[in-house]
């Protein structure tokens, strides 16, 4: 039985890809002919998955874009997760954070859908994380340093000479007994990304912020991958999903996903040879 982090490493190696497509359904951005379907959310997601599955290591639905549609959205989310092919990491971007029986129910709900790993908020401490890491084959990406500008409000606060995000990274190292913890670190912080990687050399990173948020791809690969130029999952959502709003949206999404995968692998090769 492989741990989650062993599975992530093997998936990246087998598929030769660090690309994660964020399946964030925006009704105002999908092609008109999709919106006119009776089942638009799943129809769109299915088309994107069919077009990109051989190019990615992971898919990441953000739950907000499904919960906003009520029962219809939740049903589409479940069917989307089940439709993702075996051998691809399924990330539930939920950012959950609560304690006791509430955290346990969040974990039950998301893992029952079929997610391999869930994003969680560490603000409440280990008892809000424990229900998600009991099973070594499933686990968490813990928010460490997020890509949004307001991350500076709390995540850079100095505590005993270290910013808060490095305290989070240190603590997650101690929580990783089952080899199923990882960190969310935004691509908009390349210098900090390097510091966090130095502190947590073996953890997988989920790296959002490429593209629309302005994160630098080459720096993210150089600073965020491990010693084997692996263990970083680079998320792109809008840049792939909405590369075209026309009938060719599937082809355009594939083209962007392939471009991103090839760029990443070029940077990985440079890092290996340098």
Give Cα separations from 155 to 84, 136, 172, 177, 274 (angstroms).
Answer: 34, 28, 15, 25, 32
Q: Which amino acids are annotated catalytic?
A: 95
- Comparing CA positions, the residue from 59, 32, 55 lying closest to residue 242 is 32
Q: What are the C-alpha distances in Å from 230 to residues 14, 31, 164, 194?
A: 12, 35, 25, 14
> What gap in Å lies between CA 259 and CA 204, rounded to an integer?
23
Alpha-carbon distance of 48 to 224, in angstroms, equals 27
């Amino acid at each position: 039985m492989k741990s989650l982090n062993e599975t992530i490493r093997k998936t990246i190696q087998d598929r030769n890809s660090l690309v994660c497509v964020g399946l964030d359904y925006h009704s105002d951005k999908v092609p008109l002919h999709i919106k006119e379907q009776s089942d638009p959310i799943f129809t769109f997601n299915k088309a994107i998955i069919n077009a990109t599955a051989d190019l990615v290591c992971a898919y990441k639905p953000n739950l907000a874009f499904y919960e906003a549609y009520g029962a219809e959205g939740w049903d589409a989310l479940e069917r989307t997760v089940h439709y993702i092919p075996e051998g691809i990491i399924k990330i539930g971007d939920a950012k959950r954070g609560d304690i006791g029986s509430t955290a346990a129910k969040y974990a039950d709900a998301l893992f029952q859908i079929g997610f391999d790993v869930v994003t969680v908020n560490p603000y409440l401490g280990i008892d809000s994380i424990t229900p998600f890491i009991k099973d070594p084959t499933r686990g968490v990406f813990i928010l460490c340093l997020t890509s949004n500008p307001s991350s500076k409000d709390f995540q850079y606060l100095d505590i005993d000479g270290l910013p808060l995000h490095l305290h989070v990274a240190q603590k997650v190292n101690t929580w990783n007994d089952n080899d199923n913890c990882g960190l969310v670190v935004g691509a908009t912080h390349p210098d900090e990304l390097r510091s966090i990687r130095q502190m947590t050399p073996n953890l997988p990173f989920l790296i959002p912020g490429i593209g629309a948020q302005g994160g630098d791809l080459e720096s993210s690969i150089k600073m965020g991958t491990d010693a084997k130029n692996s263990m970083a999952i680079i998320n792109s959502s809008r840049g792939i999903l909405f590369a075209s709003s026309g009938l060719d949206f599937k082809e355009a999404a594939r083209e962007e996903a392939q471009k991103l995968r090839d760029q990443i692998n070029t940077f990985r090769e440079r890092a290996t040879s340098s």
